[in-house]
Chain A
Amino acid sequence: MTYSKRYSDRGFDDLRPIEAKAGVIPNADGSAFFKIGNTTAYAAVYGPRDLHPKFKQDPGKGILRCNYNMMPFSGMGERVRPGPSRRSREISMVTEKALMPVLDLQEFPNAVVDVFIELPQTDAGSRCAGICAASIALADAGIPMKDLVTAVSVGKVDDKIVVDLDYAEEAHEGGPVADIPVAMVPSTGMISLLQMDGEVTKDDLMKALEKARAAILKIYEIQKKALKDKYYVDMVNQNEQ
C-alpha cells in the first residue's frame, strides 16, 4: 500500500497552518494561545509563587509543575469527562520533562512555577501544541530560560515519512502508522521529548527526526514572532501617529 496523497492535501513535509499569540490571559504572569491545524491550546504560567504542600519545596531552586487538560468538548468523538485521566497525567509529566532542560529556576528557592495547558479543540498533535504554547507562556512570564522549546509530531503513514500528523493520519487504516512526538531546543537541536506509537525501522526514525528538526525551526520562528508582536504592536501604533 502506498500513501500517495495526504488526507489534508499537504506536502509530506508540510506543517498545518499555525497561529500563535502571547499574553492572552491577563491574570496570568505569562500566557499564550497556539493553534496548529485544528488543534488549539491555551497555556498559562503562574510563578514563581508559593508552593504548598511544604514537603514538595526544594530549598535549592524552584520547581516546575505542569498540568495538561482537555476541555470536555475538545475530543473528536464523545464528551471528555472532566478531571485528570491516566493519559493527561502522563502528558503533564512528559511536558514537564520537555521544558525543564531550558529553565533556570535557581533564583526561586522553595517556590513553584505552575504551567497550565488547556485545549478547547484537538485534532492530533495536542501534547506538542501544549509544549509550544507553554514555552511562549514561560518566556512571556519572564522566567529565565536558555531558549524556547518547540515540539511537533512526525511519523510514518504507510510508506511515507510525514510531518505533523492530523487525526485522520493517526487513525489511518490502510497500512501501518507510526506517530512520533518530538520536542527540541531549537538553538542546539537537543531533544527533550521523544515518544512513539507504532512500528518503524531505525533508519526511518532517524530520517523522521531530521524532518522534525526542520519543521521545528519553522515553528520556532512563529513562537518568537508571537512574543515580539506583543510589544511591537505599540511601536507600530506610535510610528503611525
Chain B
Amino acid sequence: MNSEFKEHLLSSLAQNIRLDGRKLDEYRKIEVEFGISNTAEGSAKVTIGDTIVLAGVKMLVQQPYPDKPDEGTIMVNAELLPMSNPDFEPGPPKDEAIELARVVDRGIRESAAIDVKKLLIKKGEKCWVVSIDIVTVNAAGNLFDAAALAAIAAIKDTFFPVYENDEINYKKKTEQRLPLVKTPISVTVLKLGGSYLVDPLPDEEAACDARLTVAATEGGNLCALQKGGDQTLTMEDISRMVDLALEKATYLRGFLN
C-alpha cells in the first residue's frame, strides 16, 4: 500500500476507528450455517462480514499409516477459488492456499480435537480418513479465521456413513458423530503501526506489518501459532496479541452452538 495512505490509515487506527467504523477488537457480522451440502458427510458455511467460506467433510476408508497402525487420519485441503476474488487464478493451490490449509490443519491436529483412535476400524488394516475441504466463495479479508471456523463447524456437522461389507454406503448415515473432543478456534491478530486489530479488511491486510494467527482450545491453551507479514514482533507484541486472540476465541466459539 502507498505509504501516505498507510500513514492515514494508521492515524485513524490510533483513534480506534477502522475503515468501516468498527473498533479495533470488533468482528464484522458472523453467521454459521450447518449442513449446506448434503453430498458431504458434514458441511458448514461461515460468513464474516462479506467473507464467505464453505467447508465440507468427506469420509473414506484406507490403511492406517505404518507408524500409527491404531489411528485414523485427518487431511485438510483449502482452495482459494477464482470466483471469490478477482486476483485469484484457476490452477493448483498457491502458497497462500497451502498456508491456509496447513494452519487450519495444525489447529485441529495439534489440539487432538478429533480422537483419531476412535477412527480405527481394524488395527494396521483399516481406518477412517477424515478429509476436510475448505473453499472460498467470497474472499474479503480474514480467511484464516473463517476457514478454521468453517472446518470445525463442518466436523461438528459430520456423521459416519454406513460401512458394511467392506464398502462405504454414502447414501446412508449412521447416528454416530465424529469424535470431536475439543473445539480449537483460530483468531488472527494484525499489527499495524502501534495498533492490534482482529478481523481485518483486505485494505488492512495489505497495510499490515505483521500478523499472528493463534489457535486455542476451550481451556485457553494454545494449540497452534503462525506468524505472517514482513515485519517483526516483539515479545510484548506477542503477549498482547495472544491475550486479544484468547478473548476473541471464546466469542467465536459461541457461534458453533
Contacts and interface: CB of A to CB of B under 8 A. Distances in A.
A214 interface: no
A75 B39 contact: yes
B36 A120 contact: yes
Contacts of B86: 27-28, 46, 49
Contacts of B60: 78-79
B57 interface: yes
Contacts of B79: 82
Interface in A24-81: 24-28, 31, 38, 40, 42-44, 46, 49, 67, 69, 71-79
Interface string B111-144: 0000000000000000000010101011110000
Contacts of B43: 73, 120
A78 B58 contact: yes
A73 B133 contact: yes
Contacts, number: 99
Interface in B137-173: 137-140, 168, 170-171
A17 interface: no
Contacts of A82: 77, 79, 93, 133
B83 A72 contact: no
Contact of B83 (A38, A44, A123): A44
Interface residues of A, number: 35
A118 B58 contact: no
B137 to A, nearest CB: 6
A72 B92 contact: no
A27 B133 contact: no
Contacts of A114: 82
A175 B38 CA distance: 28
Nearest to B202: A27
Contacts of A83: 92
Contact of A27 (B77, B131, B139): B139
Nearest to B36: A120
A52 to B, nearest CB: 9
Of the candidates A38, A71, A114, the one having the most CB atoms from chain B within 10 angstroms of its own CB is A71
Interface string B79-93: 101111110001011
Contact of B37 (A28, A46, A71, A77): A71
Interface of B: 36-41, 43, 50, 52, 54, 56-58, 60, 77, 79, 81-86, 90, 92-93, 131, 133, 135, 137-140, 168, 170-171
Interface of A: 24-28, 31, 38, 40, 42-44, 46, 49, 67, 69, 71-79, 82-84, 114, 116-118, 120-123
